[in-house]
């Protein structure tokens, strides 16, 4: 089915929080926003090394940091507002590859706002989202480019708050290098951390021995990076992957909430941490965080969903404005979406699609077959030419993420279930009933043709924070010698 085959970090001098406002904090290659040292938030911490702070967060508070992972987005000013906190500039002039120290605030709902750098505080926001900060949790709000609209947005991922077991470390990868293709990331001599990791997604934490590691990163488009990082005993880290303007990959290990805390507000006197470490916050079981969208494993190659040579190619593409809707005057900020998790998460027990209906072409498939990745690494196709197949590792239609379906275009005797897929037009409706009695409704965005060996796997299987639908079949020129079509037809649809 569509898809494709595939020096330890510099340590800054130790300094006290009082020194921070006078110094531009830089890490190589990620920039740390020292401007956050002026944020009006009540937190207490002591610097003990590069970005590593002794966590003293109150269990009634939550922790939040911000990361700029959008290589094509200009510098922005970041604002925060919330309970008893008016909108406050917390980070002026934030550029790509920046991560902030954690901010610690009482549990509640906060609004994060980004404006073009230097814009007046009353100017329309470029991005504005609301974020629930539950007690005892830590989160990263990542400024990324939406993989569906191309517009910048803030996505949230959950950070580990408990230290790793003694003698070990925990680590995950966040892919912030847009335009370089999917990445494979592994620790030399250790476990692979990621396979086919798309931009704007994260991996689960993995537990490894605490020591110095060589990180080997390879892009499907040819870029590579070998970096040595130290994963400390009981430490928890995120490997943020970015890129230079020429596409060169860069990576840095950044400590997470288990070993990091915030920056004191102006007028807050630095204090010495207590002799006995303050217990780290425990998540409030009554305020569970949402499940992140899922990113399915990527099959290799194209689909062989046609035999008879009856398809007629049609090429349609919907071109959107990259910055459409960038500025918004909406008074209420929408909730921040969760960053997709690059792991095949099982859907809720028993929940699945039960059919596909497309009125404009008279399609009413009332039975579905399950599709998986076969022994060749390719996506299976239905054995029944009259049935549509659902890739079970993709999203359940209506849930965030890409839901992928495939069906044959024809047989040697005549048309099959997806024979008229190329007749769809932007705006056509697609309905997918589900086993819970709900119906997911989508609108066609585009119908596109691709040679089977150059399918855009990032667009088909890549992460999405909103429900998306992909319908696939064969098309293009028919090779009578191989009884195979040269192209695949892909229908891209979004929820309506």
Is the alpha carbon torsion for 172, 177, 178, 180 positive or negative? negative
Render pLDDT for 244-256 as a digit per residue (tens, 0 to 9): 888 889 998 999 9
What is the share, in percent, of the chain residues with pLDDT greater than 70? 72
Render pLDDT for 98-143 as a digit per residue (tens, 0 to 9): 888 888 888 888 999 999 999 999 999 989 999 888 877 888 999 8
- Mean pLDDT, residues 278-292: 51
Q: How far is CA 213 from the centre of its chain?
A: 25
Q: pLDDT at residue 41 above 70?
A: no
- Work out the burial of residue 13: count CB atoms within 10 Å of its CB; fewer than 13 is exposed, 13-18 middle, 19 or more buried: exposed
Render pLDDT for 261-274 as a digit per residue (tens, 0 to 9): 433 333 333 344 43
Average the pLDDT over each of 14-18, 106-110, 143-147, 236-240 and give the range with the smallest value.
14-18
Q: How confident is the model at residue 384 (pLDDT cuts 50, 70, 90)?
A: confident
Q: pLDDT at residue 322 above 50?
A: no
pLDDT at 306: 58
Q: pLDDT at residue 31 above 80?
A: no
Strands 103-106 and 356-358 turn out to be unpaired
Q: Number of C-alpha atoms within 13 angstroms, CB side, residue 348? A: 13
Structure tokens at 199: 């931009």
Contact 126, 152 (CB under 8 A): yes
Structure tokens at 343: 């792991």
Q: How far is CA 140 from the centre of its chain?
A: 12
Render pLDDT for 205-231 as a digit per residue (tens, 0 to 9): 989 999 999 999 998 788 899 999 999
Q: pLDDT at residue 467 above 90?
A: yes
Q: Please indicate whether residue 364 or residue 21 has the higher confidence score (pLDDT).
A: 364
pLDDT at 455: 85
What is the share, in percent, of the chain residues with pLDDT greater than 90? 32
Q: Please indicate whether residue 26 or residue 352 has the higher confidence score (pLDDT).
A: 352
- Mean pLDDT, residues 236-244: 93
* Cα dihedral 101→102→103→106 (10° resolution): -170
Total-model pTM = 0.61
């Amino acid at each position: 089915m569509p898809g494709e085959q595939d020096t330890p970090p510099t340590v800054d001098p130790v300094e006290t929080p009082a020194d921070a406002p006078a110094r531009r904090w830089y890490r190589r290659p990620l920039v740390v926003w020292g401007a956050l040292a002026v944020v009006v938030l009540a937190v207490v911490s002591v610097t003990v090394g590069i970005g590593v702070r002794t966590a003293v967060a109150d269990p009634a508070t939550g922790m939040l940091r911000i990361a700029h992972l959008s290589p094509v987005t200009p510098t922005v000013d970041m604002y925060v507002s919330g309970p008893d906190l008016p909108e406050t500039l917390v980070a002026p002039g934030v550029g790509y590859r920046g991560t902030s120290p954690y901010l610690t605030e009482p549990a509640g709902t906060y609004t994060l706002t980004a404006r073009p750098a230097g814009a007046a505080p009353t100017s329309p926001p470029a991005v504005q989202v609301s974020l629930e900060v539950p007690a005892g949790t830590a989160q990263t709000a990542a400024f990324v480019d939406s993989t569906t609209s191309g517009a910048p947005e803030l996505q949230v991922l959950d950070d580990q708050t408990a230290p790793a077991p003694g003698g070990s470390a925990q680590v995950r990868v966040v892919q912030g290098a847009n335009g370089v293709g999917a990445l494979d990331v592994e620790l030399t001599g250790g476990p692979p951390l990621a396979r086919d990791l798309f931009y704007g997604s994260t991996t689960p934490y993995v537990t490894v021995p605490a020591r110095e590691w060589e990180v080997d990163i390879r892009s499907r488009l040819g870029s590579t990076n070998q970096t040595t990082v130290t994963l400390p005993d009981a430490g928890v880290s995120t490997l943020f992957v970015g890129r230079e303007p020429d596409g060169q990959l860069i990576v840095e290990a950044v400590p997470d909430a288990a070993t990091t805390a915030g920056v004191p507000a102006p007028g807050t006197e630095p204090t010495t941490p207590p002799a006995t470490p303050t217990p780290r916050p425990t998540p409030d079981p009554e305020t569970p965080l949402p499940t992140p969208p899922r990113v399915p494993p990527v099959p290799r190659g194209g689909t062989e969903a046609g035999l008879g040579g009856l398809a007629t190619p049609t090429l349609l593409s919907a071109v959107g404005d990259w910055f459409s809707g960038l500025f918004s005057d909406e008074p209420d900020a929408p909730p921040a979406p969760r960053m997709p998790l690059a792991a095949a998460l099982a859907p809720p027990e028993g929940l699945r699609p039960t059919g596909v209906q497309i009125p404009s072409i008279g399609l009413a498939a009332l039975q579905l077959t399950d599709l998986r990745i076969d022994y060749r690494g390719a996506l299976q196709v239905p054995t029944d030419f009259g049935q549509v197949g659902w890739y079970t590792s993709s999203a359940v239609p209506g849930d965030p993420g890409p839901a992928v379906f495939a069906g044959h275009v024809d047989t040697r005797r005549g048309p099959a279930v997806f024979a008229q897929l190329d007749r769809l037009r932007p705006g056509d409706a697609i309905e997918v009933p589900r086993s819970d009695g709900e119906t997911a409704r989508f609108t066609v965005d585009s119908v596109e043709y691709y040679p089977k060996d150059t399918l855009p796997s990032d667009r088909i299987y890549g992460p999405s924070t909103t429900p998306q639908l992909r319908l696939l079949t064969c098309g293009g020129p028919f090779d009578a010698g191989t009884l195979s079509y040269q192209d695949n037809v892909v229908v891209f649809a979004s929820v309506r």
